[in-house]
């Protein structure tokens, strides 16, 4: 059965994605269990938008994003990607989750990634010119002098100068290194870029410059972003919609302003209450979360969040709440999403 996406405006649609890592013990390395890093996650990204994927460290957001672009092989689920490589109007849809690896290479030209660490993600033995043109070489698109001009144009687009081409990564600041990584991601003119906490390793002043650059590049190059982060203020600045994950599951998805002002899941409410407020005259009461984040290899029954939720009732301990639509483009995985009055950010 051919893959299909009903909405022609959707570039990437993830359906019931799972990624389990085996736990092995003993001399024979027998599998005795699984870490459920991503457990039945679904979301979609429309062409030209930025979807922010947020949650605590270890919640599975980076694993979900990397599995969605097939850096990890999924355990189960579908990842539908609309390719425009052939120049057709609506594009051809491929299921990245089941596509043979030999057929993935052409699609790699349309999907790129910017890594969290701008130091370790760049080869210290390669010049800036070689780093940016490497994807072109891999795909057989290095055209010599024409590529030199292309590299110069990409460096200029990210705020670097032509004389930087023959320098090496150690000669740059952290913010400049990340700009080199962004230029490399742009070299094949992708339609989708995974941004894996691209500003978390940068100084606060440089973070704002980098976020503004990413927004400018999105408009200039007609890009779609999957933005992974744990900083809600950063996500608010750049995202159009926000998806919240907890212990490998999606608990809420909504447009940015709707989620920040009208959260419909208790975990989202707690995250927002912990986010620093720019106006000290309008403080928000901090909602402490009791207990610890559950072990993804042995999660609790029912709703994974119920051991830490102040609103939990008996049904939360026994039945897993599905991710249900409760408003226009707003979904929540909570049994009482339409009844609770939760605190947002004003």
Burial, 184: exposed, middle or buried (Cβ in 10 Å; 0-12, 13-18, 19+)? buried
Average pLDDT, stretch 137-157? 90
Q: What is the pLDDT of residues 106-123, one digit of tens each?
A: 999 999 999 998 889 999
Question: Distance between CA 124 and CA 31 in Å, rounded?
Answer: 38
CA angle at residue 286 from 281 to 290, to 5 degrees?
A: 175
Q: Kind of pairing, strands 192-196 and 224-228?
A: parallel
Q: What is the pLDDT of residues 10-26, one digit of tens each?
A: 999 999 999 999 999 99
Nearest to 111 by CA among 201, 190, 19, 28: 190
* Average confidence score pLDDT of the chain: 91
- Beta strands, E only, 97-212: 111-114, 192-196
CA angle at residue 84 from 81 to 89, to 5 degrees?
A: 115
Q: Check whether 243 has a pLDDT greater than 70.
A: yes
Average pLDDT, stretch 299-309? 94
pLDDT of residue 1: 40
Q: Hey, is 137 helix, strand or coil?
A: helix
Query: What is the architecture of the domain spanning 10-110+190-332?
Result: 3-Layer(aba) Sandwich (3.40)
Q: Hey, is 120 helix, strand or coil?
A: coil
Q: What is the pLDDT of residues 260-296, one digit of tens each?
A: 999 999 999 999 988 877 666 666 678 888 888 899 9
Nearest to 113 by CA among 192, 33, 12: 192
């Amino acid at each position: 059965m051919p893959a299909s996406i009903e909405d022609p405006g959707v570039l990437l649609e993830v359906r019931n994605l799972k990624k389990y890592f085996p736990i092995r013990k003993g001399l024979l390395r027998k599998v005795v269990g699984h870490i459920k890093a991503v457990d039945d996650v679904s979301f979609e990204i429309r062409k030209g938008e930025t979807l922010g994927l947020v949650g605590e460290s270890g919640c599975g957001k980076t694993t979900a994003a990397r599995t969605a672009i097939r850096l990890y092989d999924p355990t189960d689920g579908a990842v539908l990607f609309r390719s425009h490589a052939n120049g057709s109007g609506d594009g051809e849809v491929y299921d990245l989750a089941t596509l043979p690896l030999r057929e993935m290479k052409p699609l790699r030209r349309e999907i790129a990634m910017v890594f969290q660490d701008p130091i370790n993600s760049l080869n210290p033995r390669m010049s800036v010119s070689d780093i940016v043109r490497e994807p072109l070489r891999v795909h057989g698109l290095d055209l010599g002098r024409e590529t030199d001009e292309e590299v110069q144009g990409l460096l200029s687009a990210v705020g670097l100068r032509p004389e930087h081409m023959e320098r090496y990564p150690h000669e740059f600041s952290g913010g400049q290194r990340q700009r080199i990584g962004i230029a490399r991601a742009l070299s094949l003119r992708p339609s989708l870029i995974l941004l894996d906490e691209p500003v978390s390793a940068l100084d606060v002043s440089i973070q704002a410059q980098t976020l503004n650059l990413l927004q400018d590049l999105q408009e200039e190059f007609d890009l779609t972003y999957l933005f992974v982060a744990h900083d809600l203020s950063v996500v608010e600045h750049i995202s159009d919609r926000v998806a919240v994950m907890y212990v490998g599951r999606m608990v809420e998805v909504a447009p940015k302003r709707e989620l920040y002002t009208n959260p419909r899941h208790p975990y989202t409410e707690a995250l927002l209450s912990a986010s620093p407020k720019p106006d000290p005259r309008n403080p928000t009461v901090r909602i402490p979360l009791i207990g610890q984040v559950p072990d993804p290899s042995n999660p609790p029954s029912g709703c994974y969040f119920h051991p830490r939720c102040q609103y939990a009732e008996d049904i939360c301990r026994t039945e897993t709440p599905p991710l249900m639509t409760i408003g226009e483009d707003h979904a929540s995985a909570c049994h009482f999403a339409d009844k609770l009055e939760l605190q947002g950010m004003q």
